Structure formats: structure tokens, C-alpha cells
Amino acid sequence: MQPKIFIDGEHGTTGLQIRQRLADRSDISVLSMPHEERRNLEKRREMLLSADVAILCLPDDASREAVQILKDAGNSTTRVIDTSTAHRSHPEWVYGFAEFDAGQREKIIGASRVSNPGCYSTGAIALIKPLIDSGILPADYPITINAVSGYTGGGKQMIAQVEDADHEQHIAAVFFEYAMKLEHKHVPEIIAHCNLTKRPLFTPSVARFPQGMLVNVPLHLDGLKGGAIASVHSTLADHYAGQNIVEVVAPEDANVLARIEPEALAGQDIMRLYICGSDETGHVNLVAQLDNLGKGASGAAVQNLDLMLKA
């Protein structure tokens, strides 16, 4: 029998892209609620309880509500992938970043509850965690993260503001920063999964393109153990060896590029990590390039779904 998949919130930005990725699949059956029924709690409850895997594409409170519906019903069979922020640091949820460490794929395969990483978090953690784990980067290093995302990361509200010139809150800027108090919701996730002991400075921004992302983590080499770009490269290359989702671009290849463009991986579900800089300058800039709706959201959710279906 085909596994039944319910995308709770399939009419939102992330849900729509997950639905598109699953549209031609013959190995699963996708349960769907019409747009006009999306607020029908009883119908939603019915879908949740009958699904083998529920993918929650909802605001945080609605995701918690969906999980509570399953709990109150005594349901122990519906497995859950949550794309919201609600459970990303919850100790009872498996973090849905398959390349996180050597055993993460197996944890996801066997999990009943999986939290999908945030888009910025995916890039930042991919760059920082292997260096922390290896001891090259101190856990109390004063990390700075600068990032730019396509405007679809802001969901339907931001998409409407950017694309509709008549919208009362129309955004005409080609680029803008936000989260000016440095309290972005992805920061706790980055701290928790990188085991940082000093809160990083995170400056997110949005540009006038729909999909794509760059996450930059600049570092002083004299603050790293070994203090050489070669050790940074070898650590990241070793960590991501043997898989085909995260690619590591060596400094000799990254340094000769004219530019690194945030839209280059739009529509793809991979991520590239670039190591830029030199021992002579004493600086290295680590850059993650991904689609904010690909490996940063919908693509990661489908990757996690495929892993869970292996169980």
C-alpha cells in the first residue's frame, strides 16, 4: 500500500513547492484539502490522523496545534515533519539536516518527529558546526553571520508586498535589511545545533529576486586552531564527503571566481559551500549558496520524507 502523505498548509509558499515536488510521484498517495477547506478543523484532523507522514507547513502555533491533535487522539502512527520554527531545538525532535553529522540520516530514517531546518540556519550550521566539532573554531568565537535571501522566504505576505505595486505596504527597494534588533528567530537554532557558547551576530537581508540565498561567515584565521585555510577546507571537505547534496568548493577554485551569485541554485535542492580568502591576508570568508525554498525549506522536507519512507 502506498504511504499517505498530508501536507498541512499546502497552499502556502513552502507547501506549494513540496506539493509540486511530489506531484509526479507514483510511490506515494498525497492527501489534499481544497483551499476553501483549509480552516475546516475537523477535516484537517481527519487528514492528520489518516496520514502516514504529515508535513506541517504552518505558523509555529498552528504546528504545535497539529501535534497536539495527534497526541490527544492517541495517534502513534502518523509521523511528522515540521517546517516551522516550533520544534527546531526541541530535544525530542530529530533535526532534519541529513548532512549534519555521520549518524543523522539514520536518525531521520527512524524518527517519528522531524524538524525541518530554517533556510538561514541550514547555511550557517553547514559552515560552522564541522569547524566547532573538529576544535578548529572555538565555541566562544565572536561569530558574525551576514545573509541575503530571495523574497519568497517571507511567505505570501512579503511576496504580495514585493510583486504588487498597488499594495499598501509595497516594497520597492531592491535590497533591505531587517531584524534590526539582532533577534532573528533562526539564531536560537544556530546556537543550539552548533553548540555555541557566545551568541552570534546575525544580520539577515532580502533582495529583489524570488529564490536563492547566500550566507556568509567571515573569520580571522588567527582566532582558529591551526590558523590556516587548508585546515578549514579539509575539515569541511571531509565532513561532507560521500554524499551528493552539499558540495565544498576549495579556496583555489573559490578565489578565482568573479562573483558568487545568490540565485545560482534557484530551483535546485543542493547547497554549495565556498572557502574564500588566503593565509596571507589572515582572513577566510565561508559562503553557503542555496535556494531558500530548496535545501532551505521544501527540498529539505522532501529529502527528509524520502529518508523516513525508508523505514
Catalytic residues: 119
**Collapsing DSSP states into helix, strand and coil, what is residue 225?**
coil
Task: Dig out the grid coordinates for 70 from the structure.
Answer: 495527534
CB crowding 58-80: b at 16 or more within 10 Å, else e: beeebbbbbbebbeeeeeeebbb
**Residue holding cell 534557484?**
266
CA pair distance 198, 133, nearest whole angstrom = 15
Paired residues of 30 in beta bridges? 5
Give kind and range of the element (H or E) at residue 192: helix 187-194
Q: What is the DSSP string of 240-285?
A: TTT-SSEEEE-HHHHTT-S---TTTTTT---EEEEEEEETTTTEEE
CA pair distance 44, 304, nearest whole angstrom = 22
**Collapsing DSSP states into helix, strand and coil, what is residue 7?**
strand
